[in-house]
Amino acid sequence: GQNIDQPTEMTATEGAIVQINCTYQTSGFNGLFWYQQHAGEAPTFLSYNVLDGLEEKGRFSSFLSRSKGYSYLLLKELQMKDSASYLCAVTLSGATNKLIFGTGTLLAVQP
Partner 1 sequence: KAGVTQTPRYLIKTRGQQVTLSCSPISGHRSVSWYQQTPGQGLQFLFEYFSETQRNKGNFPGRFSGRQFSNSRSEMNVSTLELGDSALYLCASSLEGFNSPLHFGNGTRLTVT
The continuous run of DSSP H or E covering 44 comes out as strand 44-49
**The total number of residues written for the chain in this structure:** 111
The phi, psi pair for 82, rounded to 5°, reads: -80, -5
Binding test (CB under 8 A) with partner 1, winner from 20, 63, 104, 109: 104
Report the C-alpha gap between 65 and 49 in whole angstroms. 9
The phi, psi pair for 7, rounded to 5°, reads: -65, 145
Residue 108 interacting with partner 1 (CB under 8 A): no
Cβ 6 to partner 1, closest distance in Å? 9
Contact letters (x/-) for partner 1, 8-27, by CB under 8 A?
--------------------
Residue 89 interacting with partner 1 (CB under 8 A): yes
Q: Which is nearer to partner 1, 24 or 78 (CB)?
A: 24
Percent helix, strand, coil in the chain, to 5, is 5, 60, 40
- Listed in sequence order, the DSSP H helices in 9-89 are none
Binding test (CB under 8 A) with partner 1, winner from 10, 23, 48, 83: 48
Binding test (CB under 8 A) with partner 1, winner from 31, 66, 74, 83: 31
Contacts to partner 1 by CB under 8 A: 30-31, 33, 41-45, 48, 50, 87, 89, 91, 95-104
